[in-house]
Amino acid sequence: MSIAVKDLCFSYGTTMVLQDIELNAAEGKFTVLLGKNGSGKSTLLKLMAGLLPCKSGNINIMGKDIGSLSISEKAKIIGYLPQFHTPAFPFTVEEVVLTGRASYVFALPGRKDIDKTDEAINKVGISHLRQRPYTELSGGERQLVMIARVLAQEPQVILLDEPLSHLDLSNQIRFLALIKELVMSGLTVVAVLHDPNIAFMYADDFILIKDGTIRNLHDDEQPWNASILIDLYGVHLETMPFRDRALVIPA
């Protein structure tokens, strides 16, 4: 298992956000967290990224207890894609991607860091944007730059928080194809997604979260069953078959 979470509880002040979370994400798979707004998905992702302190329970990533790692050790294992906002300075794409190397650099990035940056830029397919100011790019292009920054970090696990939220359909498809490619090459990807249909089309595994707890599935249940999704999202839904899974539409 690439990520193993046990007995995790988390609260902001006195508000319980997550309760008794227990989950596993398999290595080399694309796992999606599904749930309503405010169900605790993003908080769970931040906890897995080690960006929030884990007060009770434990989170193991690639066999290491995340609480025991330093910030820079975490960055070498986990690539987290935050909700990025526009920087105040017009750094070029290349300069932004290079910052992904921060945990390997003492004072100035060296030859190897620049090579890794080039590699990441090429892999994501944005070499034509290399010298453009990040601040002038469209939302879709920015998201690709940020994923290149995560790749330059050379993590083993990538955590994505709503990576599709500002992308149009064509950029969503490009982005998901890239994620698939990364998963094929052996990376573990865990993402929070709004749209269950996209998840059913692309993801390998699913984790359903309702009111801060995991909704476990019985043997005869599938995440794309109408009854499960109605319970999860609290609205009326119908399903229609899609390949060996199903897609949902409002009833």
The residue ranges that bind other proteins (CB under 8 A) are 49, 51, 71-76, 79-82, 84-85, 87-92, 95-96, 98-103, 105, 107-109, 149-150, 153
Q: Which of 43, 76, 23 is nearest to 212 (CA)?
A: 43
Minimum CB distance to other proteins, residue 150 (Å): 8
Rounded to whole angstroms, the Cα distance separating 91 from 134 reads 6
* Of 152 and 208, CB closest to other proteins: 152
Minimum CB distance to other proteins, residue 87 (Å): 5
Rounded to whole angstroms, the Cα distance separating 39 from 88 reads 32
Strand partners, 191: 32, 160
* Of 188 and 239, CB closest to other proteins: 188
Q: Which of 116, 51, 115, 40 is nearest to 80 (CA)?
A: 51
Residue 30 near residue 206, CB atoms below 8 Å: no
Minimum CB distance to other proteins, residue 113 (Å): 10
* Of 34 and 126, CB closest to other proteins: 126
* Of 63 and 106, CB closest to other proteins: 106
Minimum CB distance to other proteins, residue 97 (Å): 11
* Of 17 and 145, CB closest to other proteins: 145
* Of 95 and 204, CB closest to other proteins: 95
Minimum CB distance to other proteins, residue 56 (Å): 22
Minimum CB distance to other proteins, residue 65 (Å): 18
Rounded to whole angstroms, the Cα distance separating 124 from 151 reads 9
Minimum CB distance to other proteins, residue 73 (Å): 8
* Of 88 and 240, CB closest to other proteins: 88
